[in-house]
């Protein structure tokens, strides 16, 4: 029999096992009890099993394998000293309080950086929309022929359109201030509106500075304002000392300290106005002397005439500096009043300034629409 197992009947197995004595484990294969029960095993299969024998030096033998499948080790339980030990805990996992605090600071800094980037992107988008709106308004004005034959420069025309937009926003802010004061709005909410009004006035000063660099005469003469407003203009705007004089009764009651600060601010503003007015008078006198000096232009001495006009033109550029200084004085006056007054007093201050200019514009409109008498 080759490679097959010969099985005997159960009766022969039981009779053999009962009659023969028990044998040792080493002789289980080939013994009468083993051979009778399991029959004849394949000789090649028996030789393929390599029994476990201890080494001479007492070391444990390697895991037994089947020679017929040498790459398949027999799965035997390994002793405890062979099993891999668990890895030591990573020291970096256990963070110290200083490390945790540093990580929290880094996360907070990253969050603030993301917020700043978002705000910057929103600001760029707002500027882009404003620029696109200005380009559309400029194109519309050109198509309507506003620049042709009107004597208005493109920079002045753009300022007039921006000033009209600024007036619309100013009316909305004045309405919010009036509603907040009448409705007893909370101080925190009212402070937000007051800060918006201050930023709103800063915007008109920036617009005037840009327009003055393009056409200073349009700004300093008040061509952008109503006829009634032009009578009260000083270097392209209001006189800070006159505004402070008008505001004092509107802000009553004032503390003694507030009244002293406002009077000091009014005095310093008046001194700055006088210094600027004297400088402007000197510039006008210098221009008069430059233009009037020299012989009459009879066409014979063109070189001297052009040199004279070039000198006068250079002096005209100083007008832009006077407009900037006057607007800077107006801006500082409003900012100082915001610091002196409380939130509700500052709200009444900006409301009074806006109402004052609105009444001047209404006065100019009424004068323009008056019935003419023969």
Rounded to an integer, what distance in angstroms lies between the CA atom of residue 187 and that of residue 362? 31
* Measured distance CA(374)–CA(371) in Å, rounded: 10
Name 184's bridge partners.
Answer: none
What are the beta bridge partners of residue 84?
none
In 3D space, the residue among 21, 51, 47 whose CA is nearest the CA of residue 33 turns out to be: 21
pLDDT score at 121: 84
Phi, psi (degrees; rounded to nearest 5) at 134? -65, -40
Give the pairing type, strands 65-66 and 69-73.
antiparallel
How deeply is 349 buried, as exposed, middle or buried, from its count of CB atoms within 10 A (0-12, 13-18, 19+)? buried
User: d(Cα 209, Cα 325) in Å, to the nearest integer?
Assistant: 10
> Looking at the DSSP assignment, which residues form a beta bridge with residue 69?
66
Ramachandran class of 246: left when φ > 0, alpha when ψ lies in -120 to 50, beta otherwise: alpha
Q: pLDDT truncated to tens, each residue of the chain (374 aa)?
A: 444 444 444 444 444 444 444 444 344 444 444 444 444 444 544 454 445 555 555 555 655 554 555 555 555 555 555 455 555 544 444 458 888 888 888 888 888 888 888 888 887 777 777 777 766 666 665 555 554 445 677 888 889 989 999 999 999 999 999 999 988 888 888 999 999 999 999 999 999 999 998 899 999 998 888 888 888 899 999 999 999 999 999 898 899 999 999 999 999 999 999 999 999 999 999 998 888 876 666 665 677 778 888 888 888 889 999 999 999 999 999 999 999 999 999 999 999 999 999 999 998 888 888 887 75
Rounded Cα distance between 125 and 113, Å, is 18
Give the global pTM: 0.59
Residue 237 in contact with residue 201, Cβ under 8 Å?
Answer: no
Tell me how far apart the alpha carbons of residues 210 and 219 are, in angstroms, rounded to a whole number. 10
């Amino acid at each position: 029999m080759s490679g097959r197992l010969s099985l005997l009947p159960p009766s022969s197995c039981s009779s053999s096992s009962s009659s023969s004595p028990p044998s040792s484990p080493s002789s289980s294969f080939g013994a009468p009890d083993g051979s009778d029960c399991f029959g004849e095993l394949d000789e090649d299969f028996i030789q393929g099993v390599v029994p476990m024998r201890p080494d001479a030096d007492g070391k444990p033998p390697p895991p037994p394998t089947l020679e017929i499948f040498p790459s398949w080790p027999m799965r035997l339980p390994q002793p405890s000293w062979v099993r891999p030990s668990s890895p030591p805990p990573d020291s970096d996992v256990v963070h110290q309080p200083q490390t945790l605090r540093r990580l929290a600071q880094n996360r907070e800094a990253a969050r603030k950086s993301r917020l700043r980037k978002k705000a910057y992107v929103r600001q760029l988008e707002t500027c882009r929309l404003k620029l696109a709106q200005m380009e559309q308004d400029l194109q519309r004005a050109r198509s309507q022929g506003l620049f042709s034959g009107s004597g208005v420069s493109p920079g002045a025309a753009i300022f007039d359109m921006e000033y009209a937009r600024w007036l619309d926003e100013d009316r909305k802010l004045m309405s919010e201030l009036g509603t907040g004061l009448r409705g007893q709005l909370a101080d925190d909410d009212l402070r937000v509106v007051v800060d918006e009004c201050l930023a709103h006035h800063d915007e008109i000063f920036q617009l005037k500075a840009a327009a003055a660099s393009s056409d200073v005469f349009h700004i300093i003469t008040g061509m952008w304002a109503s006829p009634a407003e032009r009578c009260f203009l000083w270097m392209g705007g209001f006189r800070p000392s006159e505004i402070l004089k008008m505001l004092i009764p509107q802000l009553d009651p004032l503390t003694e300290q507030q009244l002293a600060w406002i009077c000091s601010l009014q005095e310093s503003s008046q001194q700055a106005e006088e210094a600027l007015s004297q400088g402007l008078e000197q510039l006008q006198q210098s221009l008069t002397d430059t233009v009037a000096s020299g012989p009459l232009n009879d066409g014979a001495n063109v070189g001297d005439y052009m040199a004279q006009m070039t000198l006068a033109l250079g002096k005209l550029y100083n007008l832009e500096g006077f407009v900037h200084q006057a607007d800077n004085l107006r801006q500082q006056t409003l900012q100082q009043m915001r610091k002196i007054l409380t939130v509700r007093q500052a709200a009444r201050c900006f409301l009074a300034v806006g109402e004052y200019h609105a009444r001047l514009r209404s006065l100019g409109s009424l004068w323009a629409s008056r019935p003419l008498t023969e």
